[in-house]
Structure 1
Amino acid sequence: MMGSSKSLSDLFDSFEREAFRLETRDDYSKSGSVEAYEAFLAGEGKPEGYNADWVSEVRGYVNEGKRIYRVHILSRPLTPYLSFELGWGYRTNMLGGEEFFILDTTERPNPLDGVGDFWLFDGSAVGVMHYDDAGKFLSSEVLAEERTEEFVAYRDTALSKAQPFAEWWDNYGGG
């Protein structure tokens, strides 16, 4: 079975209704926003314009009637990176209309153990994400269409077990 000739960028350019992301890692600190993460660790304020390009991109999709949403599988206590990502990243990205959900596995088994990060577009195209052990993004791969149903099931499982980010953050994250 071959993968698709499309790239993740192609899928972002062509989706019509929704883009869903499953996040499974505790650390993406080598994958972007490195300087902002260092500022966070140093106790500095959020840099002006932090995530502005993504917020603008998301706002554009949302204004076109499209949905961008994600579930992050995690357990407490939060790693320093997750405190940063959720406290600065999610709360900033929500300004553009992105929706977030948390599947907290602190007191229950992970229903998607072994499933890695991916984007699912319109329930019909999947881009899987590959990272090294230090949280550095390595590559993405668009899967063949035959694999899509498997990832739709992963999305549905994640959403059925997750709770809205704002509700979770108020209870556990420091909201």
Structure 2
Amino acid sequence: MPSSVPDFTELLGRCERSAVHLELRDAYAPTDRFEAWQRGERIDWEDRASWWHPYDQLIADTVSRGVAIRRARVVSEPVSEYIRWEHYVTRANVTAGEEVRWLPRRRATRIALPGNDFWLFDGALLRVHHFSGDGVVVEDEITADPEAVKLCSAAFEAVWEHAIPHELYEI
């Protein structure tokens, strides 16, 4: 059954001012890149062609159009191995133009958080990610519901305000 959710590239392509991404899980489904990292393989950051992916180019192109892209991650400490890997590969996100911050979960107690990860485009359209217990994406949902947008926007901004910039967050 085809998805009725617009492709991420299309959503980002329509974006005019901002795209924010809130991540709330300590682990997602393993990828080949994560498994390689677990085996001890490391990225040669000097060889950009070896790690620059279409996603990185999409972000760079979007930022060059004047769209601010921010990502915040709420993480348990000590961090999971998956988060340790995410911290390592976040260098690619930052190089592409994303601003990234990390919020230790113990500092999020007073923040009303939604139950799911999401992207919020131009403060008006949500792409909500629904995961299975083992971190596999089950489905994505698109909504412009004003209450959901308001909650997610407020949650992201509260996390952002209290979070630690990537370059200062040590794991």
Aligned to 1:49: 50
Report the counterpart of residue 141 of structure 2 in structure 1.
Answer: 141
Report if aligned partners of 2:124, 2:144 keep a CA contact under 8 Å in 1.
no
2: CA distance between counterparts of 1:148 and 1:66?
19
TM-score by length of 1: 0.83
Query: Deviation of residue 51 (structure 1)?
Result: 4.9
**Identical columns (%):** 27
AA at the equivalent of 2:91: R
Shift of residue 130, structure 1, vs aligned partner: 0.7
SS in 2 for 1:20: strand
Q: CA deviation at 1:132?
A: 0.8
In the aligned structure 2, how far is the partner of 1:152 from the partner of 1:140? Answer: 18
- Aligned residue pairs: how many? 162
TM-score by length of 2: 0.85
Deviation at 1:91, TM superposition (A): 1.2
Distance 2:50 2:133 in 1: 29
Distance 1:80 1:102 in 2: 15
After superposition, the C-alpha distances for 1:36-86 in whole angstroms (9 at most, x for unaligned) are: 111100011227633521111111011111111111001211111111111
Structure 1: where are the runs of 5+ without partners? Answer: none
Any unmatched runs of 5+ in structure 2? none
Which residue of structure 1 aligns with residue 75 of structure 2? 74
Q: Which residue of 1 aligns with 2:35?
A: 38
Range with bigger deviation, 138-147 or 36-45: 138-147
Partner of 1:16: 16
Contact 1:25–1:73 (Cα < 8 Å) also in 2:
yes
Moved more, 153-162 or 5-14: 5-14
Across the aligned residues of Structure 1 and Structure 2, the Cα RMSD in angstroms comes to 2.0
Deviation at 1:161, TM superposition (A): 1.7
Q: CA deviation at 1:113?
A: 4.8
Pair 1:92-2:92 in alignment: yes
Shift of residue 119, structure 1, vs aligned partner: 0.5
Q: CA deviation at 1:150?
A: 2.0
Render the CA deviation track for 1:4-63: whole Å, top value 9, x for unaligned.
Answer: x65353422211011100000011134xxx111111000112276335211111110111
d(CA) in 1 for partners of 2:36 and 2:126?
Answer: 33
User: How many angstroms apart in 2 are the aligned matches of 1:113 and 1:65?
Assistant: 28
Regions of 4+ moved over 4 Å:
none
